[in-house]
Amino acid sequence: MKVSIYILTGFFCAIIESSILSFIPAEFLKPDVTMPFIVYNVFFLSPQAGLITSVAMGMIQEIFSNAPDGSMLFTKITIFIFALFFKNKLYINSKYSFSYICSGAVIVESFLYLFLSWLSRGESGKAENVLFFMLPNAIFTGFIAIFIFSFIGFLNTKFFVRE
């Protein structure tokens, strides 16, 4: 139940972002709204929930993006595996530590995409572009993650029994 609600919220966040972006003439303001949901579900719910969320979010991003097929799915699943590995090593005690982890995940995702391009095609044509937007994306994702964490907290207290 929780997982599907979070995935749906992520889906609506992505749609709203795509819609709003067509009105805002800013290239930098493109946070990855799907990342906080993956991180949250891996760290606070079960590994199964994290895996389902990663697949769903990867696909949602590909639907609303010109990203090559499979690329976002690959990066999101890899992020899921990394998050799973670091689950017991990193401690999220506030919305700020959550936002740092989300920012870090965005940076890792940028390098993953470059690695994937290099691995499969022997070149990273978008390398300059990906690196150029890496930091702004991480900063804005971290910023938006604070609100998403608070929103999930609100959903938990309002509709779900705390675990």
CB nearer to other proteins: give 6 or 113.
113
CB nearer to other proteins: give 129 or 157.
129
111 touches other proteins (CB under 8 A): no
Nearest to 64 by CA among 116, 13, 131: 13
CB nearer to other proteins: give 96 or 121.
121
Per-position x/- string for 20-49, each x denoting binding to other proteins as judged by CB under 8 A, each - no binding: xxxxxxxxx-x-xx------------xxx-
CB nearer to other proteins: give 3 or 33.
33
Distance separating alpha carbons of residues 35 and 31, to the nearest angstrom: 9
Q: Where does residue 156 rank: exposed (0-12), middle (13-18), buried (19+ CB within 10 A)?
A: middle
- Coil/strand/helix, residue 22: coil
From the CB of 81, what's the least distance to other proteins, in Å?
A: 6
Q: Among 5, 9, 55, 95, which residue sits at the site for other proteins (rule: CB under 8 A)?
A: 55
DSSP classification of residue 64 = T
Q: Where does residue 45 rank: exposed (0-12), middle (13-18), buried (19+ CB within 10 A)?
A: middle
Distance separating alpha carbons of residues 124 and 22, to the nearest angstrom: 27
**Residues 114 to 153: which contact other proteins by CB under 8 A?**
116, 119-120, 125-126, 128-130, 132-133, 137
> Dihedral angle at the C-alpha atoms of 105, 108, 27, 124, nearest 10 degrees?
-160
**15 close to 64: Cβ distance less than 8 angstroms:** yes
Q: Among 6, 11, 40, 43, which residue sits at the site for other proteins (rule: CB under 8 A)?
A: 11
- Positions that interact with other proteins (CB under 8 A): 11-12, 14-28, 30, 32-33, 46-48, 51, 54-55, 58-71, 73-74, 77-78, 80-81, 84, 113, 116, 119-120, 125-126, 128-130, 132-133, 137
